[in-house]
Amino acid sequence: MLSGSWIDDYKKKLCTAQEAARAVKSGDRLMNPLMLGQPTNLIMDAIADRKDELKDCELNALLTLRPYKMFKPEYRGSFRINAGFVGTPSLRACFPESESYGRYVPVSSFATSKQYSCFRRPDVVVLMVTPPDKDGFVNLGPDLFYTRAMIEGLQTSRGVIGGARVVIAEENDQYPPAFGHTKLHVSKLTHIVRNSAKLPAPPPPVPSEAHHKIAENVVNLLRDRDTIQIGIGALPMVVSDLIVKSDLKDIGVLTEMLPTGAPQWVEKGICTGKYKKFRPGEINCTFMGPSAELYEFIQKNEFVKFLPGNTTNHPAILGAEDQLVGVNGALEIDLAGQIASLTCGERIFSGHGGQIEFAMGCRMSEFGRMIIATESVGRDENRNPISRIVKFLKPGALVNTPCHLVDYVVTENGIAGPLEGMSVIERAEALIKVAHPKFQDELVKAAKDRGIFQ
């Protein structure tokens, strides 16, 4: 569509939230982007308000930030909630201990584009975009995880598969545009609802003393020219701060979530990415968390490129890097080094995410390293201290990363590894040494009972 010729089409698509909501039909599967690309409550609640008219609708949700009405139990008769990553308070509310009315859907980051095009194609997509530019392109902003695939479908050898019937855009003049594969023409949209709303920017989490010790151990494993994958949270924030204070040189970033420390790494000249194999000189990610500093950073720096998750998390792309380093967490680690990072027994806390893909990438990468960083002690449902390193994973636990893809386990008590090539006996010895001293004797006895120690 030629520049200027799109305007009439654009104006025809402008409507209210209630008018857009009427495009939803009973039996429809609804989807939003992963995180910041999600709309405000405006349109989603207008859809929920039709609960007496709609039946058997389904919302596929991941990392939902906002408390949409349809997450409340009184809406369950009209809207089923499927969640692939139960890591936010809004989604956790659908998984109460007494009666879970949400349903967990195992999916890895790399596979989301395929899943939501080929197998679980949405009928209705509701997302946030910027106002259009002079050529009629809106910007999808800092959330490319599976957004394009659920809107447009996936290009395959047999043609395009998938694509939504209805695409409702909340046009927000406060939504930050991003560089990368982020432009979408208004012709791809069916409804446009204008709104002006600030994005969330919560205060950063407060790190503990244990976080500082763990971060020191993690940074000791980093080297010049490493290409790093790390997320957002108290521990990654401390790791980021220590990288700024380090003498590291020429690190790169190829990750799913943009690290909070990226602006400081660039400012200090630590992050150049010039030795990356994939798009050297760029910072590549697929989404980011809510952060006022990052909102400004991504708009000012064209070398920060957002790409779909089936690119940033593609094991073959990751494995082609020379020194890929993944830094990820865990809820439980057994004595062989198996990682459960989404469940503690049958209780679901997050999702599979991209950990396994980066673990595979690190294994294929020359001089790559997969680091699992966690506090040695957690808390049970009664707030009693429990060891993160355990004899067995709790019954019902879902293994996120198998033991043979883990290179290091780091706690505040030290570094276990490199684990590659170690026997199960050697792994158990190394892991027990970084467990909390309070639990070490118990773990030694457990290892002997299992026959690990002769």
Of 256, 282, 321, 357, which one is the catalytic site residue? 256
Residue 364 token pair = 């294929």
Cα–Cα distance for residue pair 3/435, rounded to 1 Å:
62
**Rounded distance between C-alpha atoms, residue 231 and residue 244, angstroms:** 16
The count of other CB atoms within 10 Å of the CB of residue 347 is: 16
- Residue 60: closest CA among 88, 37, 79, 78: 79
Q: Would residue 256 show up in a list of annotated catalytic residues for this protein?
A: yes
Residue 213, CA distances (Å) to 220, 270, 388, 413 in order = 11, 22, 16, 8
User: What does the block give as tokens for 314?
Assistant: 């593609």
- For 81-135, the DSSP string reads EEEEE--SHHHHTTS-SS---EEE---BGGGHHHIIIIIS--SEEEEEEPPP-TT
454 contacts: CB under 8 Å, gap ≥ 6: none
Q: How far, in Å, CA of 376 to CA of 208, rounded?
A: 13
HEC string of 184-252 equals EEHHHCCEEEEECCCCCCCCCCCCCHHHHHHHHHHHCCCCCCCEEECCCCHHHHHHHHHHHHCCCCCEE
Which residues are catalytic, by number? 256
